[in-house]
A and B are shown apart, each in its own frame.
Chain A
Amino acid sequence: MSLKVDSWGIEPQIKKSELAKLFAEFLPGNAIVSEEEELRPYECDGLSAYRQLPMLVVIPDTIEQVQKIVKICSKYRVPVVSRGAGTSLSGGSLPLTNGIVLSLAKFNQVLEIDTNNRCAKVQAGVRNLAISQAASEYGLYYAPDPSSQIACSIGGNVAENAGGVHCLKYGLTVHNILALTIVTMDGEILEVGGKALETPGLDLLAIFTGSEGMLGIVIDVTVKLLVVPEKTKVLMASFNDVALAGEAVSQVIAQGIIPAGLELMDKAAIKAAEDFVHAGYPLEVEAILLCEVDGSSVDVEAQINKASDILKQSGAVDIQLAKDEQQRQLFWAGRKGAFPAVGRLSPDYYCMDGTIPRYKLGDILKRIQDLSDQYQLQVVNVFHAGDGNLHPLILYDANNEGELAQTEEMGGKILTACVELGGTITGEHGVGVEKLDQMCVQYSDAERDQFLALKIAFDPNNLLNPGKGIPQLHRCAELGALHVHHGQLPHPELERF
């Protein structure tokens, strides 16, 4: 597979062996990985269609070591790719052949749980789920819950502004963190934010969140913790038409209910998940909605009844309330296991991540179906419906020549359709190397130029994850100004060609 990373013409001024020698002056032997077979596990992230080996992998365990590593890399112009758990689905932590991978795996300590201020300070490599586990003895938890939460790191979550099925009510990573300790590419430490709710000046916390490892290295994160709600109930509504299910989502929210989660699965996803985890999903229907409500007992009771009525009025043919906690967990297990479940259906699948305004759900579903027919590639749909965030999974077989390329082309068209419908190309997985071309669709030259300029303020020599996230201007020019931008007609802005 040919790589789509933009080359920025960065030439390291040092050989691999010399670099390893410099690192060995302060890192123990097992913290420097240089042999090919040991580098293999780092060759890709969750977007495994792209693979390549870095020069070296380093696995520091103190902030001082990180500072020394980046200072050396800055001096010799060696690109640095930070890596948490490597679950990115956009190639964000894909190594660069002329650079090193900086693994945060050893930054795995929960440093403090402050129960009075309901927050926790944790190191970047701590797994998302481990935070809630550590907080559970105090009746607290960390709200954003990506499906990958058993594996992914909080540093990676910050870098991708990760979401999850409960983000509709509780927000994304950006809404759930208070402070970051960052090491910049010149080895300086930045303390951003703090335990107070706000700090003066520019909102650097927001700009670091979702910056895909391109602005700084996250060393630790102070996250907000929430009180585990007194009561949580989930219901499953079945529909004979996916578009109807989509409209029902808007209805629920329009009538003043903010569910904790509101997820949609289509028939193919239901079947795959049911075969995989036996969640008790109905197999004969076209779509299900999982609607979870949490809060006080009184409110939950009232809201779940109201939601149930709205869903019925919106065309649900059956509504099942999880009868106990065990069944509630089972309903969610099916949803959270949807990706691996689909993995059993097809040799390969490609997970998309567009967003649209909720009321356009019916439109996008039709566009996806048309593309599926046109490309003869099956699509399984799983949505964070309440947020308008789609995860169409395109099934393909990489062993069939040209099928991956076809899949990528079709995926690109789905994302373009999302932009045309007023949405965006990625809701939570990030741009990485995967959606560089679609960045040309979503943003104008001037907008992308502003992004590139912003990076210079943080990383003037472009050594942090270079080539990811924001395409070079000429790349978009080469792609041709054949795309629709903000619903306007093509306009060839090729002045920087």
Chain B
Amino acid sequence: MTDLNKQFIEQITQAKEQNTSLHICGGNSKSFLVDIDKAQEVDELSTEGHSGIINYLPSELTITVRSGTPLIEVQQALADKGQMLPFEPPMYDEKSTIGGVIASGLSGARRPFSGSVRDFVLGTEVINGKAELLRFGGEVMKNVAGYDVSRLMVGAQGRLGLISSVSLKVLPVSEKEQSIAIEMASEQFFDTVQQWMQQSYPLSAAVYYGEKAYFRFSASESFIEQIIKNISSKFSGLLSPVDNQFWSQINNQTHDFFKDASNRNLLKVLLPMYLKEVFSKEFAPKEAMQIIDWGGACRWLYTVQSIESIRQHAEIFEGTAQVFRDNGQYSSSCVREHPRANAIAQLEMRIQQQFDPQKIFNRHYAN
């Protein structure tokens, strides 16, 4: 339980005065997500040790945490009270911090059914490039005073400043969670997700991999019992139980599928959920391997197709493709993130400029 804000402000002030650049890092579990320009000299600003739960009020469904707090600690504290982070953030490494969760904005399998990281952010305390400690939002559910800077920090990857602490909305864990796998063709997976969502089935995860669809339900015991009964009669003989552990393997990328990431490039393709008609042709040619996550809205993909052609396909459907894990093949020749329209890219630069005029936090980012 230490607060290192004073130290951070000193370090940023010094960087300002000496015109040096700082790389913010938490547990370093997601450092593979940003490409650093090695030509730039950069010092580290670590949130390690800046940890502790500042305020947790289970009856209010809110928790406020220092950014250097390990994610695992936050999850434990919530689990003790029967609550959870509803966006199911991935934990690639046990050192993963809550600050990194917010800055990367990554959500797990529950995301399409309960919301993303930013949906649950209520407030942040931030230190900007002028070394000013600022608070936006708060611990209340609703706040429309001023611009929503707290949510802007989510996924900004430290480009706008240091997240010092964050207040999040949390939710109670369901009475029961049960997972099943059903053998089916991928087309049928999309239709099944649609049908079940239309029927308000309590889906909390839906993944397709290796000729099987995996579903998780979260609800009361009696409702789940009823659902499983319905499904069993419809898919009799094709159903098998699945350990809930399966979802952390998907979220944390410890599932066998992700082992290949050590020698191939792993793409993350975000699409509208229901794109059945183009699914196999455009995104998963025969030689490709993929996990369809988020009920269809997120695809983890290994492919020999060029990133450009994948991006072109994705754009037709308002989708994007990111080189999520890269083995050096791509980063030299193309942009890791899906390129933004020029007007948007310019606007993002101007926003960065207003938070960090001297480019202390992002000078060293490649691209």
Q: Do A and B belong to a common assembly?
A: yes
Question: Residues on A close to B: CB < 8 A?
Answer: 114, 116-118, 139, 160-161, 163, 167-168, 171-172, 174-175, 179, 184, 188-192, 194-204, 206-207, 209-211, 215, 227, 229-230, 250-251, 253-254, 256, 258, 295-296, 298-299, 302, 355-359, 384, 387-389, 422-431, 435, 438-439, 442-444, 446-448, 450-451, 453-458, 469-470, 486
Is B347 in contact with A190, judged by CB distance below 8 angstroms? Answer: yes
CA distance A355 to B338 in the complex (A): 39
Is A450 in contact with B128, judged by CB distance below 8 angstroms? Answer: yes
Which of A117, A359, A389, A439 touches B142 (beta carbons < 8 Å)? A389
Is A302 in contact with B144, judged by CB distance below 8 angstroms? Answer: no
Given contacts A357-B57, A457-B351, contact A117 B272 (CB under 8 A): yes
Is A203 in contact with B118, judged by CB distance below 8 angstroms? Answer: yes
Is B138 in contact with A424, judged by CB distance below 8 angstroms? Answer: yes
Given contacts A197-B116, A423-B138, A425-B145, contact A250 B198 (CB under 8 A): no
List 15 A–B pairs whose Cβ atoms lie within 8 Å, in order of A's numbering.
A175-B119, A191-B341, A196-B272, A207-B147, A211-B148, A296-B202, A299-B202, A357-B57, A388-B141, A450-B149, A450-B354, A454-B354, A455-B147, A456-B350, A457-B353
Which residue of the partner chain A has the closest CB to B227? A296
Q: Which B residues touch A442, using CB under 8 A?
A: 145-146
A117, A196, A425 interface centre (most CB from chain B within 10 Å): A196
B347 CB to closest chain A CB (Å) equals 7
Q: Which of B114-160 contact A (CB under 8 A)?
A: 115-116, 118-119, 128, 130, 132-136, 138-149, 151-152, 154-156, 159-160
Q: Which B residues touch A203, using CB under 8 A?
A: 105, 118, 151-152, 154-156
Q: Which A residues touch B164, using CB under 8 A?
A: none
Is A302 in contact with B155, judged by CB distance below 8 angstroms? Answer: no
Question: Residues on B close to A: CB < 8 A?
Answer: 57-62, 82, 105, 111-112, 115-116, 118-119, 128, 130, 132-136, 138-149, 151-152, 154-156, 159-160, 171-172, 194, 197-200, 202, 219-220, 222-223, 226, 270-274, 294, 297-298, 317-320, 322, 337-338, 340-341, 343-345, 347-348, 350-351, 353-355
Q: Which A residues touch B317, using CB under 8 A?
A: 195-196
Given contacts A200-B337, A439-B145, A447-B136, contact A256 B222 (CB under 8 A): no
Q: Which A residues touch B115, using CB under 8 A?
A: 171, 175
Which residue of the partner chain B has the closest CB to A252? B59
Given contacts A201-B337, A424-B143, contact A174 B320 (CB under 8 A): no
Which of B142, B160, B200, B340 touches A387 (beta carbons < 8 Å)? B142
CA distance A207 to B344 in the complex (A): 13
Given contacts A190-B347, A201-B344, A254-B58, contact A451 B147 (CB under 8 A): yes
Which residue of the partner chain B has the closest CB to A194? B318
CA distance A195 to B112 in the complex (A): 12
Q: Which B residues touch A431, using CB under 8 A?
A: 144-146
Given contacts A355-B141, A388-B140, contact A195 B134 (CB under 8 A): no
CA distance A197 to B146 in the complex (A): 25
Is A454 in contact with B341, judged by CB distance below 8 angstroms? Answer: no
B121 CB to closest chain A CB (Å) equals 9
Which of B143, B297, B322 touches A426 (beta carbons < 8 Å)? B143
Which of A200, A387, A454 touches B322 (beta carbons < 8 Å)? A200
CA distance A172 to B141 in the complex (A): 9
Q: Which B residues touch A469, using CB under 8 A?
A: 146
Is B118 in contact with A206, judged by CB distance below 8 angstroms? Answer: yes
Closest A-B pairs by Cβ, 8 of them: A254-B59, A427-B142, A206-B151, A194-B318, A457-B350, A116-B274, A195-B272, A453-B354
B53 CB to closest chain A CB (Å) equals 16
Which of B199, B271, B320 touches A200 (beta carbons < 8 Å)? B320
Given contacts A355-B140, A427-B142, contact A302 B222 (CB under 8 A): yes
B135 CB to closest chain A CB (Å) equals 7
Is B148 in contact with A296, judged by CB distance below 8 angstroms? Answer: no
CA distance A447 to B147 in the complex (A): 10
Is A258 in contact with B172, judged by CB distance below 8 angstroms? Answer: yes
Given contacts A139-B198, A197-B111, A299-B219, contact A359 B144 (CB under 8 A): no
Is A206 in contact with B198, judged by CB distance below 8 angstroms? Answer: no
Q: Which B residues touch A357, using CB under 8 A?
A: 57, 60, 62, 139-140
B304 CB to closest chain A CB (Å) equals 23
Is B152 in contact with A207, judged by CB distance below 8 angstroms? Answer: yes
Q: Which B residues touch A457, using CB under 8 A?
A: 347, 350-351, 353-354
Is A196 in contact with B297, judged by CB distance below 8 angstroms? Answer: yes
Is B139 in contact with A447, judged by CB distance below 8 angstroms? Answer: no
A336 CB to closest chain B CB (Å) equals 18
Is A256 in contact with B145, judged by CB distance below 8 angstroms? Answer: no
Given A194-B318, A258-B172, 14 more A-B residue pairs with CB atoms under 8 Å apart are A161-B144, A175-B119, A196-B317, A196-B319, A207-B148, A211-B148, A302-B220, A302-B222, A423-B140, A427-B143, A431-B144, A431-B146, A446-B134, A453-B354
Is A171 in contact with B119, judged by CB distance below 8 angstroms? Answer: yes
Q: Which B residues touch A210, using CB under 8 A?
A: 144, 147-148
Q: Which B residues touch A429, using CB under 8 A?
A: 144
